[in-house]
């Protein structure tokens, strides 16, 4: 109707289409081509098609009314329109649009949208305070704040484990988890309780109930999990320390996807008292930070004392580099170009079998821990975690026992290979997948890399690198059991490879 | 040098000036005149001078780096620049600027800035959850959430009273305040604990420690207090119910300033068990909502049962209208134009004396409650609250006793005047003052109006109206003690006077 209407008509048509989530009209009113821009608090999208994909995934904009409009004509064929909106749910928004006339039709060439933030971002947080728990310091962590993964006990709060039904049935914790208590004593505050993938049984960070926390450096991509909320909280500066756990990569993967530093500690080195487990043979405490120095300072508060031990010779296995996507492998190679290292020619033909053993034992232990509760509640889980627990429920005792034997053999073999040196490998096989892309192969490919430290109970530090396209990725340093502090020192000494301050 | 090179240079100069908080350069690089725009999550500013004033108050933008820039030339003399920034504190921001060439110089004609929101807005909240406390319903408030003023006990949390030292020394509450418990039983959840002016002893809503909560409908103006956080939380849709208290206007003033509905209940009608008091002779429970219907539903949960009583004849005193600024008085008159009312010619010459008695007794009681703790801690208070408590500390027993006699006489007189009818008066004497404007007269002028219900212990419902300039204001309905439910029904029946849905 208003295809050749005035700017005012077209602006109104746009508002109506937005409120009706009329995607064909919105697509038509945005200029075609790769230069069209649309940005909001979650990031900037470039290109008509990327904007269309975003709209399809979004499922409608919040209901609103335009309460003030400022139109600035720039020549005959271009206009800037700045509009104040009032949201039905409360608060005011702002949008700035550059409209350009394309023949007879006005189209949006660039748009910038602000809406008032919610009280808290429920994708990241379950509860948050200023702070939530005051420090018991002073100590080495003075002035720092912790996003606590919702698997750790915080006195006075429940453990939610990423599942609303579990949260509802959970009792209030009387004492802090050992690690939380230690961090508070070292001078840190608890900022809040951060989201996790359900029962930590995912590497994606897209909780079905609360949504995927944002990934600021890789907009519209998954944040990585399962320590997803802790990682995003650190990326956004909501906290300086993201406390998480790592069973099969739950620290290393969000670190890589978001460009953070992260450590998975030696299995058994840091007490898991007060932490809801997933697979005790592999579960470890871990944390994420935005810089290597702080990653080490947290280690001072949590790790047992240990003198420097072994050497810091970096070992690189081409087979492990090749297990990552080319962009991530190239970023790892670029990192290695700047540091002395030795290439090793390991036989890793058993890797698929090791991964299978890891996944079988992980699943068997997860079902042993949670099967009683989940037995009648599998339908409370998101699809991917549910399918994993369903498979877990069918693992026989024989299969679990066999997996345990294979895990032990793999552990011994991997410990032999790493020896007193430092293995360097990609932290995850790819950059963060797009939110719209839910390919299960990503998990398998990444776990082929992450399972090594998991199987052998070794400490692993993920260091942020960047791909040629500028997306975050990670390289991982793995060393002998107990060498956590050596890895932390090494990470702080290495030149920062992602070029950030 | 090419034209786009000049733009690039100027863009860089702007970034440097922004990071250095170099106000003269920023002022020069923004186009002069009333049409220049600058908007962010807190609202849109129009005019070069308003933008300059904002910058002076702000004290610098957060440290950031531009990580991506998109330039769209529009003819020779206009360019849109969309830039992605990376904040030093974490997360990414977005800014859209329309640059226009003015002679040889490029200047910003419109700017839209987004920065990642913090974990929680500490101006509004001390702690917030999804929810913070689960409901104990079901009930009439199913699906509703409450922002609890930081004077009410929430089990497992401290009472902060808007003062960091008080918070630090407070014990953890074992039980919910009576009102909180009732709201939870009626189906509501507790969203969080919201900021208050220190010890509720202000009507401004600009806590010296945590900042002034935003006022979305009156950007860059104070939110009104002391139930400031509860009010802003409701305005922004962070909660649907703002729980507060009203001693001398602490519900009615933020309701008026923000365009909300609010009720101050009959003195003594709703138990204050578990609430930190200010002046027990005047303290009451109150709440704020975005619509009149919900205001009444909360009343069903909290108020004692009462049959309709008295009449709903509206009484208007020209002397009270004249006590407000002309824009607010005009908005009240416009409201009255639409409803049947009766003009009364009351002798209100005693009003200044009544206000003095109110303020003396309020101060004496406040010092009686808090003097022991504050005696050695006055320097922990913001300047305005401190000066009020300092004056309070000097009130003699004789002065307090005399004030009490005058208050009793005023109460009887006001109750006689209101009788079985409904008094209509402005809720506050002015619209919300600008943040930059800290004129103490505003408090006195407003209290001349609000003290009437306070002195007489009467219920008062504030209804949102708008001034000719489009700013929120309030008209207040006051009725006999115990007629809270009548006022709530009346407010829901009246046509919504601010033209909002």
Interface-testing mutation among B120, B127, B133, B195, with chain A (most A C-beta atoms within 10 A): B120
Contact in structure between B242 and B234 (CB atoms under 8 Å): yes
Contact in structure between A99 and A37 (CB atoms under 8 Å): no
For residues A229 and A151, give the distance between their C-alpha atoms in angstroms, rounded to a whole number: 12
For residues A277 and A280, give the distance between their C-alpha atoms in angstroms, rounded to a whole number: 6
What's the whole-number mean pLDDT along residues A78-86?
Answer: 96
* Backbone dihedral angles phi then psi of residue A204, each to the nearest 5 degrees: -90, -40
Which residue carries 């908007």 as its tokens? B39
Residues 292-351 of A with CB under 8 A from B: none
DSSP assignment of B338-388, as one string? TS--EE-----TTHHHHHHHHHHHHHHHHHHHHHHHHTTTGGGS-HHHHHH
The pLDDT assigned to B4 comes to 45
Write the pLDDT tens digit of every residue in A177-214: 999 999 999 999 999 999 999 999 999 999 999 999 99
A130 to chain B: nearest residue by CA? B126
The pLDDT assigned to A3 comes to 45
Interface-testing mutation among A65, A81, A84, A129, with chain B (most B C-beta atoms within 10 A): A129
Strands B472-478 vs B284-289: parallel, antiparallel or unpaired: unpaired
Q: How many residues does chain A have?
A: 501
What is the number of other CB atoms lying within 10 angstroms of the CB of residue B79?
A: 23
Q: Do B91 and A216 touch (CB under 8 A)?
A: yes
3-class SS at A111?
A: strand
Contact in structure between A411 and A403 (CB atoms under 8 Å): no
What is the number of other CB atoms lying within 10 angstroms of the CB of residue A305?
A: 6
Using CA atoms, how far residue A388 sits from A82, A164, A397, B232, B441, in Å, is 48, 18, 17, 44, 66
3-class SS at B167?
A: helix
Which residue carries 């003009």 as its tokens? B343
Which residue carries 């809503």 as its tokens? B205
Using CA atoms, how far residue A387 sits from A163, A413, B485, in Å, is 15, 31, 54
The pLDDT assigned to B5 comes to 53
In chain A, residues with a C-beta closer than 8 Å to the C-beta of B100 are: 74
What's the whole-number mean pLDDT along residues A121-145?
Answer: 97
The pLDDT assigned to A500 comes to 66
Q: Which listed residue (B107, B149, B202, B317) is catalytic?
A: B149
Contact in structure between A214 and A236 (CB atoms under 8 Å): yes
Closest in A91, A100, A168 to B236, CB measured: A91
The pLDDT assigned to A2 comes to 38
Name residues of chain B where pLDDT drops below 50.
1-4, 501
Which residue carries 């009439």 as its tokens? B140
What's the whole-number mean pLDDT along residues A296-312?
Answer: 94
Token pair for residue B248? 């001398």
Q: Do B172 and A156 touch (CB under 8 A)?
A: yes
* A211 contact B CB<8A: no
The pLDDT assigned to A149 comes to 98
In chain B, residues with a C-beta closer than 8 Å to the C-beta of A64 are: none
In chain B, residues with a C-beta closer than 8 Å to the C-beta of A43 are: 84, 92, 94
Q: Do B119 and A239 touch (CB under 8 A)?
A: yes
Catalytic status, residue B109: no
Write the pLDDT tens digit of every residue in A152-175: 999 999 999 999 999 999 999 999
Establish how many alpha carbons lie within 13 A of residue B11's alpha carbon, considering only the half-sphere containing its beta carbon: 24
Min Cα–Cα distance to chain A from B196, Å: 14
For residues A282 and A362, give the distance between their C-alpha atoms in angstroms, rounded to a whole number: 7
Q: Provide the whole-model pTM.
A: 0.96
Token pair for residue B441? 């007269």
Contact in structure between B195 and B208 (CB atoms under 8 Å): no
Using CA atoms, how far residue B366 sits from A170, B391, B448, B455, in Å, is 42, 11, 19, 15
Residues 266-295 of B with CB under 8 A from A: 290
- Which helix or strand (DSSP H or E) is residue B257 part of? helix B252-258
DSSP tag of B324: S
In chain B, residues with a C-beta closer than 8 Å to the C-beta of A75 are: 74-75, 78
Min Cα–Cα distance to chain A from B376, Å: 23
Token pair for residue A208? 């079905």
The pLDDT assigned to B338 comes to 85
Contact in structure between B197 and B224 (CB atoms under 8 Å): no
A214 to chain B: nearest residue by CA? B91
For residues A384 and B450, give the distance between their C-alpha atoms in angstroms, rounded to a whole number: 58
B174 to chain A: nearest residue by CA? A156
- Which helix or strand (DSSP H or E) is residue B3 part of? helix B3-19
Contact in structure between A442 and A433 (CB atoms under 8 Å): yes
* Backbone dihedral angles phi then psi of residue B261, each to the nearest 5 degrees: -85, 145
């Amino acid at each position: 109707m208003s295809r050749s209407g005035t700017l005012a008509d077209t602006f109104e048509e746009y508002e109506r289409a937005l409120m009706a989530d009329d995607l064909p009209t919105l697509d038509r009113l945005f200029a075609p081509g790769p230069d069209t821009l649309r940005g909001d608090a979650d990031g900037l999208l470039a290109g008509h098609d990327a904007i269309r994909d975003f709209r399809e995934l979004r499922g409608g904009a919040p209901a609103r009314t335009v309460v003030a409009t400022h139109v600035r004509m720039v020549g005959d064929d271009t206009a800037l329109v700045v509009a104040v909106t009032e949201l039905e749910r409360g608060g005011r928004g702002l949008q700035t649009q550059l409209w350009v006339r394309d023949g007879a039709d006005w189209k949006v060439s660039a748009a910038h949208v602000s809406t008032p933030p919610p009280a808290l971002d429920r994708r990241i947080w379950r509860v948050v305070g200023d702070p939530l728990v005051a420090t018991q310091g002073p100590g080495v962590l003075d002035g720092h704040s912790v996003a606590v993964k919702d698997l750790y006990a915080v006195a006075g709060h429940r453990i939610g484990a990423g599942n609303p039904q579990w949260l509802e049935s959970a009792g209030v914790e009387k004492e802090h988890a050992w690690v939380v208590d230690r961090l508070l004593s070292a001078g840190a505050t608890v900022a809040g309780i951060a989201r996790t993938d359900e029962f930590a049984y995912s590497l994606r960070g897209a909780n079905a109930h609360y949504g995927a926390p944002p990934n600021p450096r890789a907009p519209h991509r998954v944040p990585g999990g399962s320590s997803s909320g802790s990682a995003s909280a650190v990326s956004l500066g909501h906290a300086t320390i993201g406390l998480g756990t790592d069973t099969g990569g739950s620290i290393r993967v969000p670190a890589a996807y978001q460009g953070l530093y992260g450590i998975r500690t030696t299995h058994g080195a840091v007490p898991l008292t007060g932490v809801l487990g997933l697979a005790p043979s592999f579960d470890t405490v871990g944390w994420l930070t935005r810089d290597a120095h702080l990653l080490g300072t947290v280690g001072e508060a949590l790790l047992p004392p240990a003198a420097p031990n072994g050497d810091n010779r970096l070992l690189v296995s081409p087979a492990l580099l090749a297990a990552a996507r080319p962009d991530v492998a190239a970023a790892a190679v670029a990192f290695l170009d700047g540091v002395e290292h030795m290439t090793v020619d390991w036989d890793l033909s058993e890797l698929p079998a090791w991964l299978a053993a890891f996944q079988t034992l992980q699943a068997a232990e997860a079902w042993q821990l949670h099967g009683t509760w989940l037995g009648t509640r599998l339908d409370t889980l998101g699809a991917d975690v549910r399918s994993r627990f369903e498979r877990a429920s069918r693992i026989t005792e024989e299969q679990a026992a066999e997996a345990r034997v294979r895990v032990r053999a793999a552990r011994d073999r991997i410990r032999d290979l790493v020896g007193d040196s430092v293995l360097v490998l990609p932290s995850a096989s790819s950059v963060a997948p797009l939110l719209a892309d839910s390919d299960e192969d990503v998990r398998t490919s990444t776990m082929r890399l992450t399972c090594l430290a998991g199987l052998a109970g070794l400490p692993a530090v993920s260091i942020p690198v960047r791909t040629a396209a500028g997306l975050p990725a990670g390289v991982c340093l793995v060393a002998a059991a107990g060498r956590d502090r050596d890895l932390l020192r090494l990470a702080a000494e290495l030149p920062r490879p992602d070029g950030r301050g």
